[in-house]
Structure 1
Amino acid sequence: GRIDKAYPTVCGHTGPVLDIEWCPHNDDVIASGSEDCAVKVWQIPENGLVVPLMEPVVSLEGHSKRVGVVTWHPTARNVLLSADTGCDNVVLIWNVGTGEELYRLEDQHPDLIYNACWNRNGSLFCTACKDKTVRVIDPRRETVVVAIEKAHEGARPMRAIFVADNKILTTGFSRMSERQIALWDQSNTSDSMIVQELDTSNGVLLPFYDPDTNILYICGKGDSSIRYFELTDESPYIHFLSTFSSKEPQRGMGFMPKRGLDVNKCEIARFYKLHERKCEPIIMTVPRKYELFFGPPSSSTALPPAKEEPQPTQSFYALLPLATGYLRPFVFVSCVNIGVKIRGFSVNSKSPGYVASVGLTLTVRTGTHAQTADSALISELVGEIKALKETVKEQGDRIEKLESKLAKIEDGDV
């Protein structure tokens, strides 16, 4: 529900905060941009705020107009992009560790910048501009490598994000004020791959893309629903899946990083929906059953390495297996309980075959704070699981032999 008025807040800006983003490399660090022309980086205490936080770790001074866009580099530590949404339309890329500007891009945008998005390996970023052009920019060369003019012909704000295979997805409005989503091939921008018209509402569409499952989530400001689509390599490329609907319209939407999901419950996405009365979690799950605990629908997600500066254009991100993530030291584990039960075997002479059941249960309780799992305990657990697998295999061999004998008895061979 609504928090108390005396609840501690992060309150170091002197103007309204326009954009925030949690750091992908450190779950306790957040960057914010404000109308006071400053970008600030905050270190949130491990146990949360007890008193108001007024002093940032770093204050980045370089913009002369309000800062409406901040986004962390996906694979390079301490690299942050910020863009002002005033008349200067300057994009700055910072080294947060030293507080210095790495790159200043001043001449690429003639009008207001709506949003910016890095590609998955951080070699390029794209922007959506009020002049109806989507630009793909190489920050190291400080050049626009691709420009998509009139991505949407409507005058209302649009958004652009990178999706699979460096394709670009845009949301915007048609000339008749219909809300649209479009997919573009970066190598051929003369025409879109597909344009889909959604409805005639006037709320700006916010796209969220999950590269691990190729699912696109579309949330509209003022809507009470979330549409989701699957992106494929074959026409029509964008396939509607379903719609989540609720009673309250959303004022904004946040997207939980994949490593924060509960894979035990087949959770593939979690949103935090802000509406007038509260911030509400919305969980997307796939209703599936598994033979064992392992095997979520999204088997891995990006685990960025700690680089100090943007890298060349090759892909260099690592993948974190989600199914076995709870065994790794950097996963949030506070208490691990193992329960193993191998149920007895039984023979039913009235029906052919040998009836057997083997059950293996593994329960993991997660805490609210990150704690390093003891490596010796992990090794011991892995050893026990291997021993259990061997036991199950031996019992399986025994079942096969008994089934063979039972078949011979029923055929009169014995």
Structure 2
Amino acid sequence: MSGKFVRASKYRHVYGQVAKKERQYENIRVTNNAWDSNLIQANSKFLAVNWNSSGGGAFAVIPLDEVGKAPDQVPLFRGHTAHVLDTDFNPFDDYCIASGSDDGKIGIWEIPKDYSFHNYTSADGEPKDLEPKKFLQGHGRKVGHVLFHPTAQNVLASSSLDYTVKIWDISTGKELFNLKHPDMVTSMSFSYNGNHLVTVSRDKKLRVWDIRAGKIVSEGPAHTGAKNQRVVWLGNSDRIATTGFSKLSDRQVGIWDAFNLEKGDLGGFYTLDQSSGIVMPFYDDSNKILYLVGKGDGNIRYFEFQNDELFELSEFQSVDPQRGFAAAPRRAVSVKNNEILKGFKTVNDHCIEPISFHVPRKADSFQDDIYPDAPSHIAALSAEEWASGKSTEGPLLFNMKSLFDGSEPMLVPSSAGNSEPVPPATTPSAPAAEEPSASEKGDVGQKEESTPQSTEKTLTRPPSPVTIPKPSAPKTSKENGSSTAIDETLKEDKTVNGLLMRASQLDKDNDAEDPSKDVSTWDEGEDNVPPAELPPPVSSASRVEESKLVPAKTEKSKTIPQEAVPATQTPTPEATPSQTKIKTSTSSPATRLEEKVEEFTTTTSDSNVSDSTVAPTAKTMGLKQSVETLSGLVLQLSQVVDDLKRASLEKDTRLKAVEDKLAQLVGK
């Protein structure tokens, strides 16, 4: 064994799968504008695409179920006088979408209930273009990014080349707050409860804002490279992740304490590669997975975030590069197929491929450990409540099991393990669903039970010393043809009773913990270690690593397991119990015990002399002599068992010390 510890996670074998050709969106004309945005956005019903059109800016909205080749003439959302640079769906209204444009305006659009990408036409059969419900005006230059608030209804953030981020109430068109920056904002992200906003600017600085106070609560330098950077808040935590470049043009990922940006990144930057494309980050708070999508390449990396570290899971590879990518909300995934993320990528600016990320399991029941409660489509606060200073601890959640059962979504109070909000008094809520524990979630130490090829292993606490229960009085029965003298002798000799009970106990232990069926190792983290497999204690001068100790093998056909090396001897690590002699004996007590039992059985069964011709006294004397021999062997076996118990206690102490040392090293 190598002794290498492999980090276990139920998401280690998550894989991405591209939809079949007939489920893709073809004949799509993605804009050729060079502005840095995601180009496409998605919710549970629609897909928005920045469209390459003439006569001013436009974007298209595609219902998710209208797959296949798009018509040459399609309905477009027109109204901007310059290129549409970014769009975002309202998380609390699937039919509401906002757009930012090069003309400095923000468009608020309403998607008709009868809208169809293929068949939304006028009376003469021509596609009908749609107009905005309203425009929000206030920025002096182009609006590069728009982003809806995660908890408050109708609250929108927009960034512009006028170096400001404005917060709007789109229902009234009123500007609520204005956050001034020294340079252009290249990316922004709301905190989980929506009280703070993190921005990264072209001046290579990160800033965390208290939005309603209009002030910076934390500020610090970000990546040193010249290209644009991206930032995302890591769900229900005070950590943020950034993607950017080093001075040597290495693509990097950094983790930061949102309220201590001055201290720098946590643990150093993670270097991805030396590609030139910007990396788009997407974070799934339900599964604590960060997806990194590179512009200009076809790869999608994903990492599990835990204890301020990113652990690489796997990578989706494709020869088709993407310029844009969108992740649908949690309520859009296919729960019955163990899908944890539904994404969409552009391919060569004329096709959009759906990509599903799955946890490989074979189960017909709801997998509650990978589907904790997720943000719902109901807002926790109104725009007026939030602007006046009212706060919530996060979005209202719903039970994901409703997607599996096909029932109505049930709102639940948030729990500390995933999200923390308590619904307002005006919002009905159901009793909280029981949240899986940390071990059930697989943060540390859980295997993927449905994946045979999984190599996940964990270090578990060593087993407690094995104790053999004190035998009770045995039950004897008369064999056919046995004499009264033999029965009386068996009743009077207590050593026979002890032998039978110990043999019975060892037989049970051997059946329950047969090493030939399940070999226990550290990497596999098994808790049940048979007494006969515990290695002997070694001196400090010749101590070897516990992870390399080879457990003794026991033959499956034996009723009583082979004897292990006693604690009084110190053999080399390569020696096995079957090769080690005890004192001057040529075989182990267990082997001699079996030979005596076999000899006694053969003698009594093969005898040609009938019971009636042999005197009871001679038969009794022969049996008593055999019993005395067996008694001596039992005493030796008992001593070996006691030695094994002591060895187990000593090993338990050593393993506990190693475990404490590992805990101290991890704590540092």
TM > 0.5: yes
Q: Could you tell me whether the CA contact under 8 Å between 1:10 and 1:52 is conserved in 2?
A: no
- Tell me what 2:640 maps to: none
- Tell me what 2:587 maps to: none
- Tell me what 1:75 maps to: 151
1:298, CA displacement in angstroms? 2.1
| Distance of aligned partners of 1:197 and 1:305 in 2 relative to their CA distance in 1, 3 Å threshold | same
Moved over 2 A (4+): 46-49, 51-54, 186-189, 289-296, 303-306, 309-314, 324-331
Q: Deviations over 1:374-413 (max 9, x none)?
A: xxxxxxxxxxxxxxxxxxxxxxxxxxxxxxxxxxxxxxxx
* SS of equivalent to 2:282: strand
**Match runs of 1:199-348 below 5 Å:** 199-233=273-307, 237-276=309-348, 277-290=350-363, 292-293=365-366, 295=368, 297-303=370-376, 304-309=378-383, 310=386, 312=390, 314-325=392-403, 326-329=405-408
| Distance of aligned partners of 1:327 and 1:4 in 2 relative to their CA distance in 1, 3 Å threshold | closer
Partner amino acid for 2:250? E
1:54, CA displacement in angstroms? 3.3
- Tell me what 1:37 maps to: 104
Q: Deviations over 1:303-331 (max 9, x none)?
A: 25342123555514222111223544369
| Distance of aligned partners of 1:72 and 1:156 in 2 relative to their CA distance in 1, 3 Å threshold | same
CA distance in 2, matches of 1:295, 1:233: 22
Partner amino acid for 1:299? P
User: Which structure 1 segments of 5+ residues have no match?
Assistant: 332-414
- Tell me what 2:476 maps to: none
CA distance in 2, matches of 1:167, 1:43: 34
Matched, 1:163 2:239: no
1:47, CA displacement in angstroms? 3.4
Q: Could you tell me whether the CA contact under 8 Å between 1:123 and 1:312 is conserved in 2?
A: no
CA distance in 2, matches of 1:12, 1:202: 34
How many residues are paired up? 324
Q: Could you tell me whether the CA contact under 8 Å between 2:402 and 2:408 is conserved in 1?
A: no
Larger radius of gyration: 2
- Tell me what 2:175 maps to: 101
Q: Could you tell me whether the CA contact under 8 Å between 1:296 and 1:322 is conserved in 2?
A: no
Say which of 133, 143, 147 aligns to 1:57.
Answer: 133
Q: Which has the larger share of strand? A: 1
Q: Deviations over 1:150-180 (max 9, x none)?
A: x100111001111041201010000101000
Partner amino acid for 2:286? D
Q: Could you tell me whether the CA contact under 8 Å between 1:266 and 1:287 is conserved in 2?
A: yes
| Distance of aligned partners of 1:280 and 1:291 in 2 relative to their CA distance in 1, 3 Å threshold | closer
* SS of equivalent to 1:324: helix
CA distance in 2, matches of 1:125, 1:258: 22
Matched, 1:191 2:264: yes
CA distance in 1, matches of 2:230, 2:190: 13
Partner amino acid for 2:358? T
Partner amino acid for 1:79? V
| TM-score, with length taken from structure 1 | 0.75
| Distance of aligned partners of 1:221 and 1:119 in 2 relative to their CA distance in 1, 3 Å threshold | same
- Tell me what 2:214 maps to: 142
1:192, CA displacement in angstroms? 1.1
CA distance in 2, matches of 1:240, 1:320: 29
CA distance in 1, matches of 2:110, 2:316: 34
| Distance of aligned partners of 1:113 and 1:226 in 2 relative to their CA distance in 1, 3 Å threshold | same
1:63, CA displacement in angstroms? 1.0
CA distance in 1, matches of 2:369, 2:311: 22
1:213, CA displacement in angstroms? 0.4
Q: Could you tell me whether the CA contact under 8 Å between 2:239 and 2:257 is conserved in 1?
A: yes
1:121, CA displacement in angstroms? 1.0
Q: Could you tell me whether the CA contact under 8 Å between 1:79 and 1:94 is conserved in 2?
A: yes
* SS of equivalent to 2:408: coil
User: Which structure 2 segments of 5+ residues have no match?
Assistant: 1-25, 28-69, 121-126, 411-668
Q: Could you tell me whether the CA contact under 8 Å between 1:18 and 1:34 is conserved in 2?
A: yes
CA distance in 2, matches of 1:240, 1:26: 35
Q: Could you tell me whether the CA contact under 8 Å between 1:294 and 1:324 is conserved in 2?
A: no
| Distance of aligned partners of 1:8 and 1:291 in 2 relative to their CA distance in 1, 3 Å threshold | closer
* SS of equivalent to 2:331: helix
- Tell me what 2:248 maps to: 176
1:196, CA displacement in angstroms? 0.4
Partner amino acid for 1:329? E
- Tell me what 2:81 maps to: 14
Q: Which has the higher contact order (CA 8 A, sep 6+)?
A: 2
1:221, CA displacement in angstroms? 0.7
| TM-score, with length taken from structure 2 | 0.47
Q: Could you tell me whether the CA contact under 8 Å between 1:266 and 1:296 is conserved in 2?
A: no
* SS of equivalent to 1:172: strand
RMSD: 1.7
CA distance in 1, matches of 2:242, 2:391: 23
Partner amino acid for 2:395? Y
Q: Deviations over 1:343-379 (max 9, x none)?
A: xxxxxxxxxxxxxxxxxxxxxxxxxxxxxxxxxxxxx
Q: Deviations over 1:117-154 (max 9, x none)?
A: 101110101111000001111110000111122x1001
CA distance in 1, matches of 2:191, 2:270: 23
- Tell me what 1:132 maps to: 204
Q: Which has the larger share of helix? A: 2
CA distance in 2, matches of 1:28, 1:156: 35
Q: Could you tell me whether the CA contact under 8 Å between 1:156 and 1:172 is conserved in 2?
A: yes
| Distance of aligned partners of 1:179 and 1:143 in 2 relative to their CA distance in 1, 3 Å threshold | same
Say which of 214, 219, 224 aligns to 1:153.
Answer: 224
CA distance in 2, matches of 1:263, 1:30: 26
Identity %: 36
